[in-house]
Amino acid sequence: MEGIDGSGKTTQLALLAKWLSAAGHPVFMTEWNSSALVKAATKAGKKKNALTPMTFSLLHATDFADRLLYNIIPPLKAGMIVLADRYSYTAFARDAARGVDRRWVRELYSFAAKPDMAVYFRVPIDVSVDRLLARRVKLKFYEAGLDMGWSTNAVESFRMFQGKVLDEYDRLVEEYGLSVVNAIGSITEQQRVFRKLVSQHLEIENHEQLDESA
């Protein structure tokens, strides 16, 4: 699952996981930047605002490698469906938006297993910002791209940085064939499209019993 902050991808993935589990499919979930191996180093670097684009990239790649080895490959070998809240495409988009060489980042993640399916929830930057502000979410320093020094205003910096990330995602859709879901629609509408995509890929039945509380 891919998408910028405020795209709703985490909500959609959680709903999909419940649906698959209820249908009897064993599911394992993993999320970006969650490895205990580099958690302390990343936290310390963020606290001091000391992470350069290259350092940030290397830390995330280490996190990814650790999770791939212990949280992705083993469940797959056990016959489970692994749902990843962000994959290597996040690095391709964010790191390039920070000015890191695209080819270098792709080579850095060359060890990554190719996902059977990658879904990108595309949302305009204005919708993303409105959703985050409506939830009274405090924009984080790095997520807002404040480390780049383009603007001292968090909202404005977020628009600029995430706008560049959106441009990179558009490149990835063409380069890697990501499936695109329009993330402007309601949660129910998005989930219906998401389930259909996954059902077709896994060749499982998709019963259209989805209401607003699903």
Per-residue pLDDT tens digits for 187-196: 999 999 999 9
pTM score: 0.89
Percent of the chain with pLDDT strictly greater than 90: 73
Per-residue pLDDT tens digits for 130-152: 998 888 778 888 889 998 999 99
Full 3-state SS string of 129-193: HHHHHHCCCCCCCCCCCHHHCCCCCHHHHHHHHHHHHHHHHHHHHHHHCCEEEECCCCHHHHHHH
pLDDT at 174: 93
* Beta-bridge partner residues of 207: none
pLDDT at 214: 44
pLDDT at 48: 77
Q: In the predicted model, what is the mean pLDDT of the chain?
A: 90
Q: Compute CA 211 distance to the chain's CA centroid, rounded to the nearest angstrom.
A: 25
Which residue did the predictor score with more confidence, 46 or 99? 99
Q: What is the C-alpha separation between 42 and 199, in angstroms, rounded?
A: 37
Percent of the chain with pLDDT strictly greater than 70: 95
Is pLDDT at 49 greater than 80 in this prediction?
Answer: no
> What is the set of domains in the chain, with CATH numbers?
9-202 (3.40.50.300)
Is pLDDT at 97 greater than 80 in this prediction?
Answer: yes
Per-residue pLDDT tens digits for 102-140: 999 999 999 999 999 999 999 999 999 999 888 877 888
